[in-house]
Amino acid sequence: MAEVINNRVAVGLQELDGIVRYKTLMSLAHRGQAEIARRGCRGTSAMYYVDSLPYSYRCEVYRRYPDLNAQAKARPFIDSVEPDGAAINYYEEYTFSDGTNLPPDKIDEYSNNAAVLNAFRSWLERSNSLRKKTSHAQVRKGEFWAAAAEALPRIADRFPNTLPLNPRRLQEKYNEYIRDGYIALISGKHKNSNASKIDTEEKKAVICALCAIPNGFDNEFIALQYNDVAKKFGWNEVTAGTIAKYRKENGLLIEHARHGGTHFSNNHAMQVRRSRPTAAMLLWSLDGWDAELYYQKRNAKGAQVYTGRMVLEVVLDPCCDYPIGYAIGEREDAHLITEALRNAANHTKELFGSRYRTCQLQSDHFALKSMTPYYSAIADKVTTARVKNAKTKPVERYFRYLNETYCKTQSNWSGYGITAVKEHQPSAEFHNLIKRNFPDEQEVVRQLEAIIAMEREKKRTDYLRMWEATPEERRLPLSDEKFLLRFGKSTGYSNVLEGAGLRPRICGHKHTYDSFDVRFREASWMKWEVLYDESDLSQVLAVSEDGTRRFMLEEKYTQPMALAERKEGDAEQLARIQRFNEALNERHKLQFATLAAHATSLLGGKCYTELENPDANNDLAKALITDSKGQHKINRAKSRRRALDAAVDADYEDIAPKKAEIEIVREYPPAGEERVNTFDLY
């Protein structure tokens, strides 16, 4: 880079490269034919006066660098320019009234402008200070700004700027900068809305309302509608391009109004990012899916009357997308959801040896009121996904996986949802050709059961490994009583306790159940509803009609009648019943003795025994039994009289009998008359 040294233009070795060799230049300098302007040292190259070089070399320098003098004069300004960190920070943080910021190119441009103007101010202050010390006049402003404007193109090579090249305009910009600071360099045209045709709230409201119409009008139509309104109010007309620009700048507001809150939340609102559970049984996700497999129904004549899809209700553990439970039905309802939860609980018993609850169950709001007791029984915590927000439920993504992995390979595949791209859907013409070959309802059920079976088999090892990683405090057992109370099936009628036990009819067969809980025997007068699980009929739950009492009953052990057919375990089961009965008898003897002692104390020490009650051992007093002539009262009176005579020894006063005022009918026929064997109780 050329410099002015002692009012003479000097160049360095970089500019002389290719014009004169270094050794030749050293020889010329040694002979005095090239004058050194500045000797070289570490970090600084040597400089040579151009006018001292031989004529041929001097002409080549001027030919190669025609603006050498301008470069030399601009060198002092270039050396004094330094980046302004405060300006960079100011423009990076600057925010307009609409919330927007300066683009990066404008930040660099305004920062460089500030750096150059800072260099001009430093140059002026330094020059004036130096002249003041030497009693010289200050730098003439006209000459200075002319030189500065001339140097700006050279300065722009290292610090790109947009300062005006006119000296007077450059001086005015400098004065504005000194007066107002960094904001003076921000162009008034940047984000200027003066030329905008949509410059009032009324115009914005009209365009926004037209763009938000759910019919989905294009920009041309909206522009025509807006211009009709503009003519009435004297506004400027707009074009489709203006509408497109406004729609783009206000897209978030228009999308919310046009497509609704659900679409806005799913596509434009901030989403929550979550990670999968790292262990099993920490979270279950529950939902139903119209499985994309067609089935057909036929009438009695074999004609096809209906084509539809079955509903697959899945309980998914998202730790490895394991289908822990499922149910298949024609429609999603509370019964189908209950079946899926029942299957999930039973499957945990198949996997882990006993039933377990999940720490958290995620569901939607479908049948939430009726399903809350069941959700609470199967999970420690229940969380519901926001309405119409499928992204929060991992089971939704699992349905897409099942559709693409398994259902798509079947001939009765129905395709994707109605919003899918038409090119990705199966051929409707092909479906019409093979619709008579669609499987029936049961075949589709078997297809879905096979899909779940393959999924479980493929992921069982990983799921058991993740169960080992589940902390012990997160393993929540599900008792048989609680499971049957919520998920057990009812026989549909009530039963009473018999001597053999409770004998409900389940699946068309009689079963006998009993309990070794004494309280169940004491409530033998109550009626019981029996709840059972088809997969395990070894035990059931008996619930009283009022729901206040519950007992787990086990199936009655069957003893062989013949001693020759007794097998191992029979004696233990028989002894178990005998021990229970003995304990039951002792329990009631003690209870009755306690009650009798208490009653004796309340009755003043008197307690009536069988001797004090002459009818205690009198069979005629206990039952209404007549003789062959139908007489009962006379026989009972005679029996009571004999008992009293034998029990007490007392003196009796003879009282003459009075003559009967009425004729007494004889109870027994006189001797010699034949008795009639009649047993009329009345």
DSSP, collapsed to helix, strand or coil, labels residue 88 as helix
The per-residue DSSP string of 484-521 comes to: HHHHPEEEEEEEE--SS-B--EETTEE--EE---HHHH
- Please report where in the chains the tokens 């897209």 appear, as a residue: 251
Domain that holds residue 496: 488-556
**pLDDT for the residue numbered 430:** 63
For residue 342, the one-letter residue type is R
Q: Mark whether 439 and 515 lie in a shared domain.
A: no
**pLDDT for the residue numbered 68:** 53
Report the chain's mean pLDDT, rounded to a whole number. Answer: 79
Q: Mark whether 330 and 215 lie in a shared domain.
A: no
Going by their DSSP bridges, the two strands 356-363 and 284-298 should be labelled as parallel
Which CATH number fits the domain that encloses residue 303? 3.30.420
Nearest to 196 by CA among 232, 229, 245: 245
**pLDDT for the residue numbered 483:** 93
Question: For the purposes of burial, counting CB atoms within 10 Å of the CB of 393, is it exposed (0-12), middle (13-18) or buried (19 or more)?
Answer: buried
In this structure, what token pair is assigned to residue 236? 């400027």
CA 406 to chain centre: 25
Last residue within a domain, chosen from 157, 185, 213? 185
The per-residue DSSP string of 297-346 comes to: EE-TTS-EEEEEEEEEEEEEETTTTEEEEEEEESS--HHHHHHHHHHHHH
pLDDT over 90 percentage in the chain: 25
Q: Mark whether 329 and 440 lie in a shared domain.
A: yes
Q: Mark whether 382 and 354 lie in a shared domain.
A: yes
Q: What is the dihedral of CA 619, 621, 622, 626, to 10 degrees?
A: 70
Going by their DSSP bridges, the two strands 8-12 and 3-5 should be labelled as antiparallel
Nearest to 491 by CA among 531, 540, 551: 531
Q: What is the dihedral of CA 109, 112, 117, 121, to 10 degrees?
A: 160
> Is residue 229 in some structural domain?
yes
Going by their DSSP bridges, the two strands 322-329 and 304-317 should be labelled as antiparallel
C-alpha 315/C-alpha 294 separation (Å) is 23
Q: Mark whether 335 and 384 lie in a shared domain.
A: yes
> Is residue 573 in some structural domain?
no
> Is residue 210 in some structural domain?
yes
Count the alpha carbons within 13 Å of 429 in the hemisphere toward its beta carbon.
Answer: 0
**pLDDT for the residue numbered 20:** 78
Q: Are 481 and 541 in contact (CB under 8 A)?
A: yes
pLDDT, tens only, 217-259: 888 988 998 899 888 888 888 888 888 888 888 878 787 778 7
Q: Mark whether 620 and 519 lie in a shared domain.
A: no
> Is residue 589 in some structural domain?
no
The per-residue DSSP string of 534-565 comes to: TTEEEEEEEEETTS--EEEEEEPPPPPSSGGG
DSSP, collapsed to helix, strand or coil, labels residue 404 as helix
Q: Are 117 and 80 in contact (CB under 8 A)?
A: no
Which CATH number fits the domain that encloses residue 61? 1.10.10
The per-residue DSSP string of 103-168 comes to: -HHHHHHHHHHHHHHHHHHHHHHHHHHHHHHTTPPPPPHHHHHHHHHHHHHHHHHHS-----SSHH
C-alpha 544/C-alpha 531 separation (Å) is 11
Q: Mark whether 469 and 513 lie in a shared domain.
A: no
C-alpha 617/C-alpha 99 separation (Å) is 106
DSSP, collapsed to helix, strand or coil, labels residue 611 as coil
Nearest to 113 by CA among 96, 143, 91, 134: 91
> Is residue 77 in some structural domain?
no
Q: Mark whether 93 and 219 lie in a shared domain.
A: no
Q: Mark whether 330 and 473 lie in a shared domain.
A: yes
Residues in Cβ contact with 251 at an 8 Å cutoff, skipping those fewer than 6 apart: none
> Is residue 279 in some structural domain?
no
Q: Are 210 and 225 in contact (CB under 8 A)?
A: yes
Residue 191 CB neighbours (<10 A) = 12
Q: Are 643 and 614 in contact (CB under 8 A)?
A: yes
Residues in Cβ contact with 379 at an 8 Å cutoff, skipping those fewer than 6 apart: 284, 357, 358, 359, 360, 361
Nearest to 288 by CA among 365, 396, 385, 362: 396
**pLDDT for the residue numbered 439:** 84
Residues in Cβ contact with 409 at an 8 Å cutoff, skipping those fewer than 6 apart: none
Q: What is the dihedral of CA 485, 490, 493, 495, to 10 degrees?
A: -50
Last residue within a domain, chosen from 477, 504, 522? 477
Nearest to 336 by CA among 347, 325, 323, 349: 325
For residue 377, the one-letter residue type is A
Which pairs count as long-range contacts for 70-73, CB under 8 Å and 24+ apart, including other chains? 70/150, 70/151, 70/153, 70/154, 71/1, 71/2, 71/154, 72/2, 72/3, 72/4, 72/9, 72/10, 73/4, 73/147, 73/150, 73/151
Q: How many domains does the chain have?
A: 6
C-alpha 382/C-alpha 366 separation (Å) is 14
> Is residue 599 in some structural domain?
no
> Is residue 603 in some structural domain?
no
- Please report where in the chains the tokens 């013409």 appear, as a residue: 429
Question: What order do you get walking across the sheet with 513-514 strand by strand?
Answer: 489-496, 527-533, 536-544, 550-555, 513-514
Q: Mark whether 628 and 494 lie in a shared domain.
A: no
- With a cut of 70, which residues of the chain have pLDDT below it? 1-9, 11-14, 18, 37, 43, 50-51, 55, 58, 61-80, 97-98, 127-139, 157, 189-196, 300-306, 390, 417-434, 604-682
Q: Are 318 and 394 in contact (CB under 8 A)?
A: yes
Q: Mark whether 244 and 322 lie in a shared domain.
A: no
Last residue within a domain, chosen from 38, 66, 94? 66
Q: Mark whether 511 and 469 lie in a shared domain.
A: no
C-alpha 297/C-alpha 26 separation (Å) is 106
